[in-house]
């Protein structure tokens, strides 16, 4: 008699379990609790600057390679336009120019995503230790301004747009 009642209780539950399995995947609660509780850094940019182009390019590749070895997700790497500087050296006690130097500063960026805080300090220490002479490295959080700097503006296009605005703006044909 008890077995009959148990069968009646169990049978209605079986079709709902089958339906649930066919429509969706059941994931136990313990899978969510098993996720890592290590805090992650936001998207970071590793900015490299230097006067020697080949050394800078080589070091950017090194940063990317070390990131991959350590299991860090390197999302992007890019170059920004070079900055041209003119440095003047004056004669002592005068305003006459003794020598003049034209220098170029090159910049490369490597973007790192979801960097665990436990690995981050080791990663940055390795990069700082291997940093060649003449290069500087800064690490900062990614912002929209950093994204805009990497694109070179088209001077001719900007001139044409300003001329069009001076003439009264674009005309729309219907």
Q: Return the higher-pLDDT residue of 66 and 7.
A: 66
Closest to 139 in 3D by CA, of 67, 88, 71, 34: 67
Mean pLDDT calculated for residue range 90-116: 92
Exposure b/e, 109-148, CB count within 10 A at least 16 = b = bbbbeebeeebbeebeebbeeebeeebebebeebeeebee
Report the pLDDT value the prediction gives residue 31, as an integer from 0 to 100.
Answer: 67
Mean pLDDT calculated for residue range 36-63: 91
Q: How many Å apart are CA 118 and CA 108, to the nearest integer?
A: 25
- Full-prediction pTM beyond 0.75? no
Beta sheet of 135-141, edge-to-edge order? 73-90, 97-113, 44-50, 135-141
Report the pLDDT value the prediction gives residue 127, as an integer from 0 to 100.
Answer: 95
Mean pLDDT calculated for residue range 17-25: 54
* Domain architecture of the chain: domains with CATH: 32-151 (3.30.70.600)
DSSP structure class, residue 40: B
Mean pLDDT calculated for residue range 143-153: 69
What digits encode the pLDDT tens for the residues 114-137? Answer: 899 899 999 999 999 999 999 999
Report the pLDDT value the prediction gives residue 144, as an integer from 0 to 100.
Answer: 76
Q: Which residue has the tokens 């090194």?
A: 62
What digits encode the pLDDT tens for the residues 150-171? Answer: 666 667 777 878 888 887 766 6
Report the pLDDT value the prediction gives residue 45, as an integer from 0 to 100.
Answer: 93
- Average pLDDT score over the chain: 80
Q: Return the higher-pLDDT residue of 24 and 174.
A: 24
Closest to 158 in 3D by CA, of 148, 146, 150, 166: 166
β-pairing, 135-141 vs 44-50, is antiparallel
Mean pLDDT highest for which of 5-14, 23-32, 44-53, 89-98?
44-53
């Amino acid at each position: 008699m008890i077995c009959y009642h148990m069968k009646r209780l169990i049978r209605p539950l079986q079709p709902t379990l089958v339906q649930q399995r066919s429509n969706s995947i059941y994931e136990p609660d313990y899978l969510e609790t098993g996720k890592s509780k290590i805090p992650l850094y936001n998207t970071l940019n590793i900015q490299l600057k230097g006067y020697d182009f080949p050394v800078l390019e080589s070091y950017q590749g090194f940063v990317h390679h070390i990131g991959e070895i350590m299991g860090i997700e390197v999302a992007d790497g890019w170059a920004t336009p070079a900055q041209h500087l003119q440095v003047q050296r004056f004669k002592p006690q005068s305003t006459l120019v003794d020598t003049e130097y034209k220098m170029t500063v090159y910049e490369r960026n490597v973007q790192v995503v979801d960097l665990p805080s436990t690995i981050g300090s080791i990663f940055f220490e390795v990069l700082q230790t291997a940093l060649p002479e003449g290069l500087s490295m800064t690490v900062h959080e990614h912002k929209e301004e950093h994204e805009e700097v990497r694109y070179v503006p088209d001077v001719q296009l900007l001139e044409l747009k300003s001329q069009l605005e001076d003439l009264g703006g674009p005309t729309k044909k219907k």
